[in-house]
Amino acid sequence: MSNYAETFSEIYTGRPSGRQLYLHEKISCVPISNVSTVASEKCFTFLGYACDEGVKRNLGRPGAVNGPDAIRKHFGKLPNHLPTETLLYDVGTLQCLEGDMEVTQRALSDSICQLLQHKHFPIVLGGGHDMAYGSYNGLKKYVGKGETIGIINFDAHFDLRNNRQDKGHTVNNSGTPFYQIALDCQADGTLFKYLCLGIRQDANDRILFETAKELDVKYIMRDTFRIQFHNEINAWINAFTGNVDHIYVTIDLDGFSSAYAPGVSAPSPMGFTPDVVLESLKTIMATGKLRVLDIAELNPDFDRDDQTAKLAASLVHYVLHAERN
């Protein structure tokens, strides 16, 4: 595919041990065309989504196009506690060419479906949150009709903006993916199951709250999304996950306080903290239903001391070790 770029192992560096004590020594970079030859029952696979066209359309600050490689650089330095039989791959990056976000989203959908068919657990590194439309559709294509997908979004924003019309054409962006998904679900009779954790009143206008109500979106406000309320949060998560067959988790880094994540497209000091996200992820993974994970909105151009990239890498590290140990 013309918008595909292979990942080369040189991007993964770190302390040498000769005993796979660090993740740069364990991860293997292979072309996505070869995924069928490296299938395993315990296999995590990274795929980059190098696109910030949706952020630009949503009037955000560009730079998330460089997010995937920034996460990779810090992930490789982290310690490896995975079992020997657990495999770890990187199959490259999908690039947005000439502003054609829709082509990139379709390529992401096809790639995720392909990875799932070959027993890989896809972890998508972004990139703008428009990636969510591709991630969800890849899982939807894989599970087929009759299976219910629950979306869990760690985010300050609903991303339910109505995709506006411009000269007769629909214009989607990083703020529309879940609205697009909801419309698709209405069109094909699929249940739209969406839980958003960390919503802020100062990050969503009145129309977005009304849209969330109309679409029966479940959400927890930032005031409640705190570690001291983890029992109540876990009860919400378990109630939601108990009514779906598969789970897609998407983490928008701009949901975190800028004290932890300054390098994002829409930073705010009012966001949530890493501890409540880790506690929530533990609850989600305990269901055994998590199928796809993505990390969105890392903007290295504004990242202080690579703090946000390190946060993203540590979140992925946590999921890998919690899921497969």
Known binding-site residue numbers for Mn(2+) = 129, 155, 157, 159, 252, 254
DSSP state of 127: S
- Give the annotated binding-site residues: 129, 155, 157, 159, 252, 254
Q: CB–CB of 192/186 below 8 Å?
A: yes
Alpha helices in the chain (DSSP H): 53-57, 67-75, 101-117, 131-143, 177-188, 206-214, 230-241, 274-285, 307-324
Distance CA 93, CA 32 (A): 9
Sign of the torsion angle spanned by Cα atoms 63, 68, 72, 78: positive
DSSP state of 193: E
Nearest to 273 by CA among 253, 291, 246: 253
Q: CB–CB of 142/77 below 8 Å?
A: no
Main-chain dihedrals φ then ψ at residue 123, nearest 5 degrees: -125, 110
Say how many residues make up the chain: 325
DSSP state of 290: E
Nearest to 320 by CA among 285, 296, 289, 287: 285
Query: How many Cα atoms within 13 Å fall on the side-chain side of residue 252?
Result: 30
